[in-house]
Structure 1
Amino acid sequence: MRRFLASVLACGLAGAAAPAPAHPHAFIDAGVELRFDAEGRLEALCVVWVYDDLTSLMILSDRGLDPDGDGTLTDAETARLRGFDMQWDPGFAGDTYLLHGAAPVALAGPEGWTAQVVQGRIVTTHLRPLVAPVAPGALPLVVQVYDPGYYTAYAIATDPVIRGRDDCVAEVWGPDLDAAHAALQAAMQELSGLDLEQGFPAVGQHYAEEVRLTCPPG
């Protein structure tokens, strides 16, 4: 999977007290590119989303794309697909979060998006400029990818890419799954059936994978 994602990079709980709704429903392999400006400050993130086979098939079918099912879109179909996942509601964080140490860093809305179908899977990219560039300094920069409601499960499936600096290191860290499962079970136990109809508990952050970027100070 790392090779596949790298090639397209262009920019239930055991022992639960009660059964939980089937989450997540969609799976996305993510890629992250960190872009630095001429002054060595982080200025933008390029984000890649590779949708799972079933979700890709459903999206294409719902939009009347690839009717012959050969996994290849015409130029016109590709144009119709482009931007389908970029129509965000106000306040939506885009399932991408940036921290400088423990402090959140504001990201601007998406721009420069692309879409294509590769090996039957939808691959989209978009750019998230920082509202203000950030110099890493002594604190690490952390990029987290997750859906707060855990409808979609994200996995960082390729090595992060760094552009504009050659003295920084980016590593992928996974979540503590035992702690995440415990948090989900505790949240489920606090909810009634009526509550669940109103929304799944916001446990996605507990399952977040993240990129930790470290650069020499100065």
Structure 2
Amino acid sequence: MLPPPLRRLSAAAALGFVLAPASAFAHPHVFADARLEIETAADGSITELRNVWRFDEVFSASVVMDFDENADMQLEPGELAKISDMVTQSLAEFDYYTNITHNGDDVAVKLPEAIKVDFQDGQLLMFFALIPDKTELKGKITVGVFDPTMYAALDFIEDSDMAVTGAASDRCTRKVVRPDFDQIIAENQASLTEAFFETTQSSDLSKLLATRLELTCK
């Protein structure tokens, strides 16, 4: 059972992508164009992971229907604030859809402020910056932004949508990896038994298939 503040969202299907559990190998119901900027400092560390998500018109319209209290078909500042509060709390359970590793070890992240929400040209936008634990630009750093339940699809349309910025942006070589589902299946055919599909979690598969940015740093 969802806690009371979240139950309304799930029942209304607004922002359900962060609230409703999904079975393994579910398909996306919500789509968003995404951008990630990894901000670096002169001391050779990562300071922020900046995210921008622009959601599809269908999902955006459903959010307007659920949160447009004065029925003017817009989202006023007070209405946007309510969405922000709920999404900020809900995404914390999923580490804000962000997975970062440093030389194979997971790096914890924290949200410095509330997720900001806006409504422009019929689309819902969310933008926020995550602060990772102290991470030096040495060795291999991998960053992926994906929904572990596979309910929402965050699409980095261009490789340039996963960028490295800031004073130390030239210390690493950058590669955007876009896994191919058919290739992954072909490479793992021997292990694709009935037990594999019964035990594999959607979070495992979503991580395997997610677009990611790989940095190789000296």
| Residue 55 of structure 2: aligned partner | 51
Contact kept, 8 Å, 2:85 with 2:114, in 1: the verdict is no
Correspondence 1:187-198 to 2 at 5 A: none
Greater mean deviation of Cα atoms: 173-182 or 36-45: 173-182
Contact kept, 8 Å, 2:178 with 2:212, in 1: the verdict is yes
| Residue 164 of structure 1: aligned partner | 167
Shift of residue 96, structure 1, vs aligned partner: 0.6
**TM-score using structure 2 length:** 0.70
For residue 177 of structure 2, the aligned residue among 164, 173, 179 is 173
- Percent same amino acid at aligned positions? 25
Aligned amino acid, residue 86 of structure 1 = T
Contact kept, 8 Å, 2:162 with 2:213, in 1: the verdict is no
Q: Secondary structure at the match of 1:160?
A: strand
| Residue 44 of structure 2: aligned partner | 40
Contact kept, 8 Å, 1:97 with 1:104, in 2: the verdict is yes
Contact kept, 8 Å, 1:83 with 1:115, in 2: the verdict is no
| Residue 148 of structure 1: aligned partner | 148
Q: Deviations over 1:106-151 (max 9, x none)?
A: 11245242111122111111121112x21112x2211111222211
| Residue 127 of structure 2: aligned partner | 125
| Residue 32 of structure 2: aligned partner | 28
| Residue 94 of structure 2: aligned partner | 92
Report the number of matched residues.
189
Contact kept, 8 Å, 2:26 with 2:202, in 1: the verdict is no
| Residue 103 of structure 1: aligned partner | 105
**TM-score using structure 1 length:** 0.70
The Cα RMSD (Å) is 3.3
Structure 2 residue 63 is the aligned partner of structure 1 residue 62: no
Q: Give the distance between the partners of 2:141 and 2:39, measured in 1 at CA.
A: 12
Contact kept, 8 Å, 1:82 with 1:113, in 2: the verdict is yes
Q: Give the distance between the partners of 1:154 and 1:188, measured in 2 at CA.
A: 29
Contact kept, 8 Å, 1:143 with 1:210, in 2: the verdict is yes
| Residue 77 of structure 1: aligned partner | 79
- Structure 1's 110 and 180: CA in aligned 2 closer, same or farther, altered over 3 A? farther
